[in-house]
């Protein structure tokens, strides 16, 4: 029996090319199988072989989405595969977005069996979990020893046409898909049994887990806005001209703190947006549309607010991981409190 042909998609880091400084590497087929592909090939054994590893830099992929997809699709087609495996991406946001995009693309364009693997808080999970099979991993490449065997096991299951079990059984991300199953106990009885256990304080497993939302209680209104120091924080990506901190257009790995003490307004000459998730034309023509400096200066001059804080904070919300977002918020909040800021205006895109 012929081995199943597998194409492996990875980024520049796992291809051994480099880190962030090589994130603009263009799509190409690796001349030799990178170490990660070799390890995966060993785990696949005699039933499958990796016939090609397609590599693309994370920044290049996310900043040149349509052309990158087209190039990568042609490379995959030339390998004539039976399956594509992308990643594991762990908690690397841009890499996760790329893996999800490539898997969905080959499913849609080639009707090819495909899946990926990443950490549950990777932004790629939220975007692609309904369309793509995703194996859970740890948040960093330190979990590679556990991740690769799980990836190989799933690949062989799919290749052999075996039934894919529940997310709990398979270690995959819940996709929200409902399937009919047969149970020896009818639903009403199962529900009553769960209720009884809950009333007794005993452990039980729900058949339909509810989503958990991170809610923040609203603070009391400012008593006198005319004496308040106001700051602006944005996920709309407004940065000084030429983006000096090189904030990524997607899956941002950093935020910026920018001095506006000498500005009465923002203009096309001095600011722009780094955001890659919306048409930047209008934000670039008038950055005040995202960071309303012009209006806030008017309010400050008219005495309707106490003062505008001399810095604004900016990052890109497009595909940025929850973990990074929480970290940025904690850092920014500490700085705002240290500078006695009374209120924050949050703007998006």
* pLDDT range class, residue 1, cuts 50, 70, 90: low
How many whole angstroms separate alpha carbon 229 and alpha carbon 261?
13
Asked if the model's pLDDT at residue 321 lies above 80, the reply is no
Q: Are residues 137 and 229 in the same domain?
A: no
How many whole angstroms separate alpha carbon 44 and alpha carbon 26?
28
CB 347 within 8 A of CB 236: yes
Q: Are residues 294 and 163 in the same domain?
A: no
How many whole angstroms separate alpha carbon 55 and alpha carbon 76?
11
* pLDDT range class, residue 15, cuts 50, 70, 90: very high
* pLDDT range class, residue 298, cuts 50, 70, 90: very high
Task: Count up the domains in the chain and report the number.
Answer: 2
Element (H, E) at 101: helix 93-110
The residue that leads in pLDDT, 333 or 1, is 333
Query: Can you give the length of the chain in residues?
Result: 349
Q: Centre a 10 Å sphere on the Cβ of residue 29 and count the other Cβ atoms it contains.
A: 15
Q: In the numeric block, which tokens belong to residue 193?
A: 């049994």
Q: Is residue 140 part of a domain?
A: yes
> Nearest CA to 97 among 73, 67, 62?
62
CB 266 within 8 A of CB 290: no
Q: What is the CATH number of the domain that holds 102?
A: 3.40.50.280
Q: Is residue 274 part of a domain?
A: yes
Q: Are residues 142 and 271 in the same domain?
A: no
For residue 346, which phi and psi values (nearest 5 degrees)?
A: -100, 125
**DSSP 8-state class, residue 121:** T
Q: Is residue 164 part of a domain?
A: yes
Expressed as residue numbers, the domain containing 96 is 4-170
Q: In the numeric block, which tokens belong to residue 291?
A: 């960071």
Asked if the model's pLDDT at residue 155 lies above 90, the reply is yes
In order of 131, 186, 309, 340, the CA distances from 331 in angstroms are 34, 51, 16, 15
Q: Are residues 156 and 28 in the same domain?
A: yes
Average pLDDT, the chain: 92
Asked if the model's pLDDT at residue 41 lies above 80, the reply is yes
């Amino acid at each position: 029996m012929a081995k199943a042909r597998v194409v492996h998609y990875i980024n520049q880091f796992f291809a051994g090319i480099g880190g962030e400084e090589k994130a603009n590497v263009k799509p190409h087929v690796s001349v030799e199988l990178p170490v990660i592909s070799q390890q995966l090939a060993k785990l696949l054994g005699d039933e499958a072989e990796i016939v090609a590893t397609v590599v693309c830099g994370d920044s290049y992929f996310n900043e040149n989405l349509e052309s990158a997809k087209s190039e990568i699709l042609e490379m995959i087609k030339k390998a004539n595969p039976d399956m594509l495996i992308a990643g594991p991406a762990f908690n690397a946001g841009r890499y996760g977005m790329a893996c999800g995009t490539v898997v969905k693309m080959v499913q849609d364009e080639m009707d090819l069996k495909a899946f990926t693997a990443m950490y549950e808080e990777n932004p790629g999970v939220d975007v692609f979990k309904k369309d793509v099979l995703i194996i859970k991993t740890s948040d960093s490449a330190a979990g590679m020893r556990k991740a690769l065997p799980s990836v190989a096991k799933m690949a062989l299951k799919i290749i052999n046409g075996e039934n894919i079990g529940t997310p709990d059984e398979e270690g995959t991300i819940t996709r929200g898909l409902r399937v009919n199953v047969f149970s020896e106990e009818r639903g009403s009885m199962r529900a009553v049994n769960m209720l009884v256990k809950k009333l007794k304080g005993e452990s039980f497993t729900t058949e339909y887990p509810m989503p958990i939302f991170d809610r923040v209680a609203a603070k009391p209104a400012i008593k006198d806005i005319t004496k308040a120091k106001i700051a602006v924080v944005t996920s709309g990506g407004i940065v000084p001209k030429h983006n000096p901190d090189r904030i990524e257009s997607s899956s941002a790995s950093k935020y910026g703190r920018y001095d506006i003490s000498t500005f009465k307004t923002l203009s096309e000459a001095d600011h722009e947006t780094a955001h890659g998730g919306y048409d930047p034309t209008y934000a670039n023509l008038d950055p005040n549309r995202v960071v309303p400096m012009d209006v806030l200066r008017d309010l400050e001059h008219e005495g309707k607010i106490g003062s505008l804080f001399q810095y604004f904070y900016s990052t890109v919300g497009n595909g940025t991981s929850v973990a990074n977002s929480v970290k940025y918020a904690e850092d920014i909040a500490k700085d705002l409190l240290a500078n006695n800021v009374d209120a924050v205006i949050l703007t998006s895109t």
